[in-house]
Every structure is written in structure tokens, then in C-alpha cells.
Amino acid sequence: MNNKKIKILHLASFLGNIGDYANHAGFYKKFKENIFNNVEFNQIEIRKFYRMYAEMKFDDRFAEMVNQYDLLVLGGGGFFDLKWAYSSSGTTIDFSKQLIHKIKVPVLVNGMGYHEFGVIDEDNVNKFRSFLETTIDNNNWFISVRNDGSFSRLHNRYGNVVDRILKIPDHGSFFCPKEYNRLGLEDNDKTWIGMCITNDLFNEKFNKDVSIDDFNDLIGQFINHILAETNNAGIILFPHTHQDLTTIGILMEKIKDQFRRTRLAVAPFYSGGGEAVDYIFDLYRVCSCVIGMRFHSNLCSIGMNVPTIGLAGHEQISSLYDELGLAKRCVKINSKQFVEELLYKLDNSLNNFDEIKQNYAKLNVGLNDQANLYYKKLNKWLSTKY
């Protein structure tokens, strides 16, 4: 591409979940390395368009704003979510056909997540089919979804219409936070086990007879067991969203007092971006194993070669591990016996720490190769636009 500075409007979620920051930081890094370094990203928070916020609308004024830029980037994030009856597309991306045609600049849908949580309304299915047909056939749109089972779910629902959509590694894999003092946690002889635990997105279809209360009781028992059986073990709890703080508060009441006082740490919570998020994610490097329920607690740890166990409270996490070829490193929360499997996998992980790190390093080389292939295709498409 030429030396012209390009201005990009980036519509996504930037506040409230540190995993989103990791995703976008990885995207900016890869985009500048592979496409164009002379670029200005202007962020616009997608929550401003939510009905509960109602600060902005996907209307003619939005199209006029978009057309002042050289490129519109949508996502990543899980915004292809079939649950909004008010939306023209049935998803958070409430783009009507009229709006799509009024946007004259190229549109990159970047590693979006497609999900079908809960009961799916057929009207939303049909509206999103129309959205896909309109955008996929539009040469001004370049669409990709992330490696969390999104493409398989799309194909199962919509068939061959989605074959031109690319599946790519989520850019959280390429987030490389700076290194800090890590709260001095490396200066003692503890084996730190990281845990990112949440009560979000439980549903009867996936979790079957495991209620949220059952789950919290069992995780509390799990933590007490680990700390009682392993004298040098410590637990670091990682909140990624404000909801996770509530879950941590519940778990604190279930952990024995002597462990709360001597063997437990809670990573800082920050709802914005920038260096503070680097600081938080760097703490994952302290851990000998990370047990993660949040998508980016798993993905970013893997990207830093930290052994992980995916604790799947819904389909996204189990699908991620399937796609990475790591299905044996995931535990599904679909029966009350999941704790027994979790204990076994944790013991195995701690005993095979070096081997897992080496396997993750090889895996990350492959993910980087996949990303580079994606950027070659993206660069070819963009070269026809400027």
C-alpha cells in the first residue's frame, strides 16, 4: 500500500472487559506489522448504541461519520449474537440494508464471534441471514470470525452461504503485555494457580443439572482441597469484568479463613484499557497453571505459553479448545462430577509444566502463521480500495 496515512473508525467494545483490550491490542499490533504502520485508529464504543445507553444510533448520521474515514472495522467481540428482536440484523450490529448501502468506505468485520445462547427466535435467524447475504455479496465488505466455534455454528445454521467468511485466530493470541514486578509474587516459593471464574452465561442446555449455586459450592470445595493438599500452592483470582467481582465475593465466603489470610491473591480489576491492563495480564505469567472461564483468560495465557485448563461454562470455551486441538485440556461444567476431572487435569498440568509450555509455543507458531495468511488476503483486498 502507498504511504498515505489512513484513518480507521473502529467500532467495538473497549470498556468493562479487559479481554476486549487484549484482543484490540493484538489486532493493532498485527495490522501495523502486516498492512500499514501509518494509521490512525479512532475508537467508538459500541455500548453507546445499546438501547439502555441510547447515546447514538445506527442511522444516516452514523453513515455520514463512517464515510469520513478510510475504513470501518467492526469487532472483534461476540456481537453476532442472535438475541435482539429490535435489531435489523437480529444482533448487536443493528445494520439495516439501507444503512449498509449508505456506507461507502470498506468495512472489515474482524474476528467476530457468533453465538446462540439461550432460545433462538426464528425472526432473528432470518434477519441475520439477510444481513449475511447482503454483506457477503458486497465487495466492500471483508468478513472474518474468530476461532471459538463461530464458523461451525454459522455453517450449521446457514449452510454454504457462509463459505466465503474467513475463520481466524482471535487477536488476543498476539497480545504481548509488558513485564512488571508482578506484585512480588515471584519472590516466594508458592506454586501459583490462576483462576478466572464467572457466573455469566450459565444455561440449562449446556450446564444441565449444575446450577450456579451448585457450581460456586463446588469451586469453593475445589480451592479448599487444593490448598489443603498442597502446602506450597497459592490461588490468584482474576476478575475480567465487574460481574466477576461478585463471583469472587461469593467464593471468598466458601474458602476457609486460614487460606483466605495466607494463600490467596486477587488481581486488580480495571474497566478501561492501557498500561493497567498490561499489568494485570502480566500477572498470568506468574502462574504454573491457569483455570479459565473467560475467553481471553484462556487465549492470552496460551499465547504467553502458560499452561491452561479451560473451564467451560458454555459452548465458546469448549469450542476454542476443540479448534486449538486441545480438547483434552478442557473441562465442561455439565455434571457435578466436573471437579474430579478438574483435579486430575490440574495435577497432570503441574507435573508436566515444561512439556505443556513447549507444546503451547509450537501451537502459537501455527496461530501466527494462520494470522499472517489472513493478513495477506486482507492486504490484497485493501490494495483494491486505495
For residue range 94-133, what is the model confidence (pLDDT) as tens digits?
999 999 999 999 999 999 999 998 789 999 999 999 999 9
In a domain, 374, yes or no: yes
What is residue 121's predicted lDDT score, i.e. its pLDDT?
Answer: 93
| Amino acid identity for residue 125 in this structure | V
Alpha-carbon 48 to chain mean position: 20
Kindly state the cell numbers that stand for 82: 442472535
Contact between 268 and 182 under an 8 Å Cβ cutoff? The reply is: no
305 class by beta-carbon count within 10 Å (0-12 exposed, 13-18 middle, 19+ buried): middle
Same domain, 346 and 379: no
In a domain, 360, yes or no: no
Same domain, 71 and 220: no
Those residues whose C-beta lies under 8 Å from the C-beta of residue 309, and which sit 6 or more positions away, are 289, 290, 291, 292, 329, 330, 331, 342, 345, 346, 349
What is residue 92's predicted lDDT score, i.e. its pLDDT?
Answer: 96
Same domain, 114 and 220: no
**Residue 379 pLDDT > 70, yes or no?**
yes
Same domain, 152 and 275: no
In a domain, 359, yes or no: no
Same domain, 86 and 221: no
What is residue 329's predicted lDDT score, i.e. its pLDDT?
Answer: 98
Same domain, 213 and 90: no
In a domain, 1, yes or no: no
Same domain, 299 and 279: yes
Single pTM value for the model: 0.95
Alpha-carbon 130 to chain mean position: 26
- Give the CATH number of the domain where residue 23 resides: 3.40.50
What is residue 31's predicted lDDT score, i.e. its pLDDT?
Answer: 98
**Residue 1 pLDDT > 60, yes or no?**
no
In a domain, 356, yes or no: no
| Amino acid identity for residue 152 in this structure | S
In a domain, 120, yes or no: yes
Confidence at 232, pLDDT banded by 50, 70, 90? very high
Kindly state the cell numbers that stand for 377: 488476503
What is residue 272's predicted lDDT score, i.e. its pLDDT?
Answer: 84
Structural domains in the chain (count): 2
Higher confidence at residue 200 or residue 324? 324
What is residue 199's predicted lDDT score, i.e. its pLDDT?
Answer: 95
Spell 217-227 as b/e; 16+ CB within 10 A means b.
bbbbebbeebb
What is residue 4's predicted lDDT score, i.e. its pLDDT?
Answer: 79
Helix (H) or strand (E) holding 367: helix 353-383
In terms of residue numbers, what domain contains 74? Answer: 6-173+365-383
| Amino acid identity for residue 373 in this structure | L
Same domain, 187 and 151: no
User: What are the tens digits of pLDDT across the range 317-335?
Assistant: 999 999 999 999 999 999 9
- Give the CATH number of the domain where residue 263 resides: 3.40.50.2000
Same domain, 69 and 134: yes
Same domain, 245 and 301: yes
Helix (H) or strand (E) holding 167: strand 166-168
Same domain, 151 and 202: no
Same domain, 264 and 130: no
